[in-house]
Amino acid sequence: MYMIVGLGNPGRQYEKTKHNAGYRACDIAAKEMGVRFMKRRFDAVLAETSVGGEKVILMKPETYMNNSGQAIRQAMSYYKIPSEKIIVLYDDVDLQPGKLRIREKGSSGTHNGMRSILREIKTENFPRVRIGIGKQPPKMDLADYVMAKFDSETEKSFAEACKNAGLAALEIVKNGVASAQAKYNGNAI
C-alpha cells in the first residue's frame, strides 16, 4: 500500500497559491486514477484506489501546512504504511518555477510542512517530489511570497509542473523512485 500526500492549505483562498502545489499535484494524480476525494479522516481528505494491484491512498491534510505531519502520522499508523511508501508532494523555493526534484529521502530544508512530517514520523526515509516555485524577491517576506499566486504567464508552466509532479508520484507507485527520477527530475516547462 502507498500513500500519496499533497501538502497545502485548505480553503478556496489558497487554491492557486504557490504553497498549494502539493494539493494541486495530488488532485491531478487523483484525476489520472479516476478517483475523487470523498472521505474525511485524520484531519484530511482522502481518496482510495489501486494501481497495478497496489492499494493507493491519496491524502490532502487539512491541518494547514505547518501541522501536516499530524495527519500523516495518524494515517500511517491506521493503515500500517511504512515510511518508504509515503510519497510527499510539495512546493520548494530552492527550485526554479516549473522544475521538479524527486528524492528517495532527505531533510526538510526550509519547508515547515516537511519539518512537521519529520518531527511526527521521526524519519527522513520517504520519497518526495519537490515542485519549484522560485525564490521570493528581495525584501519580500517568505510567507507572503508562498501564499501569493503566480502571474498568468508563469501560472501556465506552474500548472504543468504540478501535473508532472502528480504523474511522477504515480510513476513511483508503478515503477519506483529511480524510474520517476529518470522521467521527471529537473523537468522545467
Domain residues for the domain of 101 are 2-184
Which residues carry out catalysis? 19
Q: Which ranges of 54-151 does DSSP label H, i.e. alpha helix?
A: 68-79, 112-121, 142-146
pLDDT of the residue at 38: 87
Domain count, the chain: 1
189: in domain: no
pTM of the model: 0.92
Neighbours of 23 (CB within 10 A): 28
Helix (H, G, I), strand (E, B) or coil at 72: helix
135: in domain: yes
pLDDT mean by block of 10 residues, the chain; 189 residues: 94 88 89 88 92 91 90 95 95 89 80 86 92 87 86 85 90 93 77
pLDDT of the residue at 187: 61
CATH of the domain at 14: 3.40.50.1470
pLDDT of the residue at 108: 66
166: in domain: yes
The overall longest dimension of the chain from CA atoms, in Å, is: 50
167: in domain: yes
63: in domain: yes
pLDDT of the residue at 176: 93
- Residues in contact with 184: Cβ distance below 8 Å, sequence separation at least 6, in sequence order: 100, 102, 129, 164, 165, 167, 168, 171
